[in-house]
Each structure stands twice: as C-alpha cells, then as structure tokens.
Amino acid sequence: MVRGTWYELAFLVDPLSERQESLVLDHFDAVPRIFAGGCELALAAEGPSVLAAVQGVVLDLDRQDIRVHRLVEDLVTRSAIAERAGVAPGTVDEWTREMRERVGFPLPFTASAGGLWLWGPVNRWLGTLAPDLSDGFTHPEISDHVEVNQWLLSRAGML
C-alpha cells in the first residue's frame, strides 16, 4: 500500500446489492447513503495524492462490481460549517461576509441557497486559524474533483 495522506472521500455509485453493502461496510469501512437511483459512499483512503487514493479505492471497488460514477463534492452551508467547526453561526457569518477579505475565508463553491462552500478549502482554512477547528482529515479541493472526475470519465470512455 502506498503511504501518504488520509483523504475523506465520497463517491456516487450504482445501487448496491446486499452483498456489496455488507462488503463496503466491512472491507472499506464506508458509510453508504442510499437514495432513489443510486448510492453515495463516504470513506477514508490513503495515498500520496487525492487521485492516487481514489485510484486505489476505485480499483478495489471495481473488483466487487461496484461502479463509481464520480467524486461527490462535500458542500456545506454556513450552519454546517458552524456545526463542524464547533463555533457560533454568527462567527461563520462574519468569516463569510464582513471579514472574508480580511481573514481569507474561501469563496463559496456556488451562490445557491445563500452560499455553499466546498468543505476541503474551508477545513484547510479552519486548520490555519486554529488546528482544533479542523476535522483532521484532508479533503479534496476543487482541482482534485476536476482531476478525479476527468480520470473517472476517461475510464468510462466518455472523454
């Protein structure tokens, strides 16, 4: 196994059989979230880069006939940021609005729903502010999502 950084990842996959669901719980320590038409798998993987970590996991999932469609963005609202960081919602409002330029808080991923942020850049920023505010994992950045999803599309012959 290639040693490196631990990354927290989530994948959109085809619906799982009972056998596959049991396998991802036992072998990958993954948390499946089943919804109409698909499944999201949340797991941690180690590698020298996000892409290398993803490639190792995807190849293991391939062997179990679990088809990975894409890396899912972990998008968070202001209230989710406050909850994950253990701070008051007003503090996050200050970070994202009045003080964003001064404190360097990441730009939102999208302006939808009052602003949604990609957790990776937010978590990294929180760690620079105070290490105990970060969750201790490395999460994909926007460029990682692009690189991984391009690789997944090229595997599927869609590029």
Tokens 């406050």 belong to 82
Q: Give residue 110's domain range.
A: 75-133
pLDDT value for 16:
92
User: Residue 99: what pLDDT?
Assistant: 66
Helices (runs of H) and strands (runs of E) counted in the chain: 7, 6
Clarify whether residues 59 and 25 are in a common domain.
Answer: yes
Do 83 and 25 sit in the same domain of this protein? no
Cross-strand partners of 117: 76
Residues of the chain with pLDDT under 70: 1-2, 98-100, 158-159
DSSP-assigned letters across all residues of 42-81? EEEEEESSHHHHHHHHHHHHHHTTPPEEEEPP-EE-HHHH
Q: Give residue 97's pLDDT.
A: 82
Q: Please answer whether residues 2 and 52 qualify as being in contact, where contact means their C-beta atoms are separated by less than 8 angstroms.
A: yes
In the prediction, which pLDDT does 8 show? Answer: 94
Q: How many domains does the chain have?
A: 2
Whole-angstrom Cα distance, residue 154 to residue 159? 5
- The strand pairing partners of 41, in sequence order, are 11, 32
Same-domain status, 82 and 124: yes
- For residues 10 and 67, membership in a common domain is answered with yes
11 lies in the same domain as 47: yes
* DSSP at 140: -
Q: Identify whether residues 67 and 79 lie together within a single domain.
A: no
